[in-house]
Structure 1
Amino acid sequence: MSLFNDNLKEIKIYHIAILIVVSYFVLYGLGMVTDVINVKWLYVVIMVYFIIKLKDYSSDFREDLFNVFSKIELKHVLVIVFSNIFFSYGMLYLANECVAHFPALNFLVGFYAPSMSLIGSLPILGVFVSTVIISPISEELIFRGVFLNRLKLFTPTLFAVLISSLLFAALHSFGSIISAFVFAVCMALLYLKTENICVPILAHFLNNLFAELIRIADYNNLLFTNGIVMSVVSILAIISAIILLKSITKELNNLK
């Protein structure tokens, strides 16, 4: 276990809570948000906080990054990532069907999955960087590095995994909350298995990267309008759900 990981475990949950609250009001006061707080700016602030807090252990972090595949194979990470992507689309399809049959649920649906184009590349680049780089780093440090580790101190590991995963899932919308929870459990298990925060960061990075590339490539919005494509993805979503369930069950049985 590295000194970086040891000191990451020492960061208190209430420190992060205070940082988020203060940052919210500072950002609001500076006019960097409009009617809704821009969570991506909060993630930047949080990431900077971790950099400053753990700056004395940067060499240990680089060593963790270098040893990211010492305890787990890349193919295992990729299976989790791609399974989660297809499972996520399956959940979005299911959410759309629920809203179609029960319009009253429409207020719960916060996801928006339009096709993206490279027109206006600067705004898209900003969204891409925040989604693919900033969010994975900040979210893994918060939910696995801090919440999971601190919860383990006074609850069984299984409960710590479930609670931290529920907190992560709560950030997501109606159509994504189940897949986000499953993904969070997978990330927690990867972290517990390797004791290396760089592993879930890398997996989260790859997940968001592939998801964004798919959105960019889907300029005709076939994933949500073409029946054949949706049927194929739905089948892959079912297969992915089985793979994820088997993998999670196996790892949960190995929890100490």
Structure 2
Amino acid sequence: MTAKTPYDDDRSRFSRRALARLVLSHEASGLSDAAGSLAVTRYDEFSGAGGRVSEAAAVAGHADRLVTSAVIYERERGSSWADIGRHLDLSGPAAEERFAPAVEQWRAAFDVPYRLDETGRKRIPQLPTAAYDPARVIRNLDLWAAARVGYDDKHAVSGGLQPGHDDEEETWPETRGTEIDGRIRLPHLGAFLDLLSEYALHRPADSARDVVARAMESSKAEDQATWHSYAMVGTFESLDIRLAVHDDLVSVTVAGAHSPALRLRISTLLDVFV
């Protein structure tokens, strides 16, 4: 690999085949969510002329990406072009002609996983998100499987992935009963706390602004003993939130979320407000 990224260590834990399978899982979950939203009729009157056609076309495009991801995975696991083409009503050479560029692009991206934008400061990933930052995607997909599909298995997605080496012990990130942590921008902290209160069915005694002010006064990110603690007692679940402010970033730890749906929402908030 010629270019370093913050996620190299996480990525190195997995074989390229496992990462291809993770990308396939990620695409499948996205397609499921997109198609599911199209099944809802409640808000049809608010969509513009042709709006549902636009959504259906987007789902179809997502399905095309899913097929490409499946082909890449099958090539990584050793399937021949003839094997792949058979399931697509294509000959082996026709399947190769259609999908070989995507497979080559996938493999080349491991040598140069990102490029810089015109300013030279922002990284633009060349790998799919699931392969570029696998730890975060694994955590969210395990939660997604529990919340959306109903699997009572905390490693429903990650459990079948192969480690990077045959003799490497499988150690997957916990997805239930543990803390969820991340960092968000300070201007977003108030909105984060407001949404978290809503998700936890909590009526806050203090405004989000008050919580932020106390966290800024007392906390130091490098010293966890000084982090500001905030209890969010909800109707069904109680959360323990710990905050530390450093410049314009806030380190956040949320403990106490037990339902997969709530954990998925918390993880999503941390991703959105980063």
Larger radius of gyration: 2
TM-score for the superposition, normalised by structure 1 = 0.30
Task: From the two aligned structures, give the one with the greater strand fraction.
Answer: 2
Q: Which has the higher contact order (CA 8 A, sep 6+)?
A: 1
